[in-house]
Amino acid sequence: QLQLVESGGGVVQPGRSLRLSCAASGFTFGRYALHWIRQAPGKGLEWVAFISYDGNTEYFADSVKGRFTISRDNSKNTLYLQMTSLRAEDTAFYYCARDRGHDAPHFMDVWGKGTPVTVSS
Protein backbone atom coordinates (compact mmCIF):
# COMPACT_ATOMS: atom_id res chain seq x y z
CA GLN A 1 0.00 0.00 0.00
CA LEU A 2 0.98 3.62 -0.32
CA GLN A 3 3.35 4.47 2.49
CA LEU A 4 5.68 7.23 3.64
CA VAL A 5 7.83 6.65 6.71
CA GLU A 6 9.79 9.49 8.28
CA SER A 7 12.86 9.06 10.44
CA GLY A 8 15.73 11.08 11.88
CA GLY A 9 13.87 13.21 14.38
CA GLY A 10 15.12 13.79 17.90
CA VAL A 11 16.33 16.30 20.44
CA VAL A 12 18.95 18.77 19.22
CA GLN A 13 20.53 21.89 20.67
CA PRO A 14 19.87 25.32 19.19
CA GLY A 15 22.23 26.13 16.35
CA ARG A 16 22.87 22.48 15.51
CA SER A 17 21.82 20.47 12.48
CA LEU A 18 19.58 17.49 11.83
CA ARG A 19 18.64 15.51 8.73
CA LEU A 20 15.23 13.95 8.31
CA SER A 21 14.50 11.13 5.88
CA CYS A 22 11.27 9.88 4.37
CA ALA A 23 11.16 6.44 2.77
CA ALA A 24 8.41 5.78 0.26
CA SER A 25 6.82 2.56 -0.93
CA GLY A 26 3.77 1.41 -2.84
CA PHE A 27 3.98 3.94 -5.66
CA THR A 28 6.35 5.17 -8.36
CA PHE A 29 8.33 7.61 -6.25
CA GLY A 30 10.06 9.39 -9.11
CA ARG A 31 6.77 10.53 -10.68
CA TYR A 32 5.58 12.67 -7.78
CA ALA A 33 6.51 15.94 -6.15
CA LEU A 34 6.88 15.90 -2.37
CA HIS A 35 6.56 18.20 0.61
CA TRP A 36 7.63 18.61 4.20
CA ILE A 37 4.97 20.02 6.51
CA ARG A 38 5.36 20.60 10.23
CA GLN A 39 3.10 21.03 13.22
CA ALA A 40 4.29 22.66 16.42
CA PRO A 41 2.87 21.21 19.65
CA GLY A 42 -0.81 22.08 19.93
CA LYS A 43 -0.69 24.21 16.77
CA GLY A 44 -1.83 23.99 13.18
CA LEU A 45 -0.13 22.82 10.01
CA GLU A 46 2.73 24.80 8.46
CA TRP A 47 4.09 24.03 5.02
CA VAL A 48 7.90 23.90 5.06
CA ALA A 49 9.31 22.85 1.70
CA PHE A 50 8.51 21.41 -1.74
CA ILE A 51 10.55 19.50 -4.30
CA SER A 52 9.45 18.55 -7.80
CA TYR A 53 9.49 14.98 -9.13
CA ASP A 54 12.91 15.42 -10.69
CA GLY A 55 14.43 17.60 -7.98
CA ASN A 56 14.80 20.57 -10.30
CA THR A 57 12.30 22.83 -8.54
CA GLU A 58 12.37 23.65 -4.83
CA TYR A 59 10.38 26.06 -2.70
CA PHE A 60 10.70 26.96 0.96
CA ALA A 61 8.69 28.78 3.57
CA ASP A 62 10.25 32.11 4.53
CA SER A 63 10.67 30.82 8.09
CA VAL A 64 13.20 28.19 6.95
CA LYS A 65 14.68 29.71 3.80
CA GLY A 66 18.46 29.68 3.88
CA ARG A 67 18.55 27.20 6.78
CA PHE A 68 16.77 24.13 5.42
CA THR A 69 17.44 22.24 2.19
CA ILE A 70 15.28 19.61 0.57
CA SER A 71 16.53 16.81 -1.66
CA ARG A 72 15.50 13.45 -2.98
CA ASP A 73 17.12 10.25 -4.22
CA ASN A 74 14.78 8.64 -6.70
CA SER A 75 16.98 5.54 -6.87
CA LYS A 76 16.40 5.00 -3.16
CA ASN A 77 12.78 6.21 -3.02
CA THR A 78 13.79 8.62 -0.28
CA LEU A 79 13.14 12.29 0.50
CA TYR A 80 15.38 14.33 2.79
CA LEU A 81 15.21 17.52 4.80
CA GLN A 82 18.53 18.93 5.96
CA MET A 83 17.93 21.37 8.79
CA THR A 84 20.72 23.69 9.96
CA SER A 85 20.95 26.57 12.45
CA LEU A 86 17.99 25.09 14.30
CA ARG A 87 15.93 27.31 16.56
CA ALA A 88 13.49 26.64 19.37
CA GLU A 89 10.65 27.64 17.03
CA ASP A 90 11.56 24.74 14.72
CA THR A 91 10.30 22.34 17.39
CA ALA A 92 7.49 20.41 15.74
CA PHE A 93 6.27 17.14 14.31
CA TYR A 94 7.57 16.91 10.75
CA TYR A 95 5.49 15.15 8.10
CA CYS A 96 6.47 14.24 4.58
CA ALA A 97 3.64 14.17 2.09
CA ARG A 98 3.14 13.28 -1.54
CA ASP A 99 1.89 15.96 -3.90
CA ARG A 100 -0.82 15.00 -6.33
CA GLY A 101 1.22 16.46 -9.16
CA HIS A 102 4.71 16.42 -10.60
CA ASP A 103 6.35 19.81 -10.89
CA ALA A 104 4.25 22.44 -9.08
CA PRO A 105 2.75 22.50 -5.58
CA HIS A 106 -0.80 21.26 -5.31
CA PHE A 107 -2.42 19.33 -2.48
CA MET A 108 -1.12 16.37 -0.52
CA ASP A 109 -2.81 13.02 -0.98
CA VAL A 110 -0.50 10.70 0.99
CA TRP A 111 1.03 11.56 4.35
CA GLY A 112 3.55 9.87 6.59
CA LYS A 113 3.00 9.49 10.32
CA GLY A 114 5.65 12.11 11.07
CA THR A 115 8.79 12.38 13.17
CA PRO A 116 9.27 14.70 16.16
CA VAL A 117 11.99 17.33 16.33
CA THR A 118 12.72 19.13 19.59
CA VAL A 119 15.20 22.01 19.65
CA SER A 120 16.27 22.62 23.20
CA SER A 121 19.41 23.19 25.23
**Four-residue CA torsion sign, 95, 96, 99, 105:** positive
Q: Could you say whether residue 73 binds another protein (CB under 8 A)?
A: no
What is the C-alpha separation between 20 and 91, in angstroms, rounded?
A: 13
Q: Could you say whether residue 112 binds another protein (CB under 8 A)?
A: yes
Contacts 24+ apart (CB under 8 A), 61-67: 63/89, 64/90
Nearer to another protein by C-beta: 15 or 89? 89
Among 26, 100, 103, 120, binds another protein (CB under 8 A): 100
Return residues touching another protein (CB under 8 A): 35, 44-47, 50, 59-62, 95, 100, 104-109, 111-114
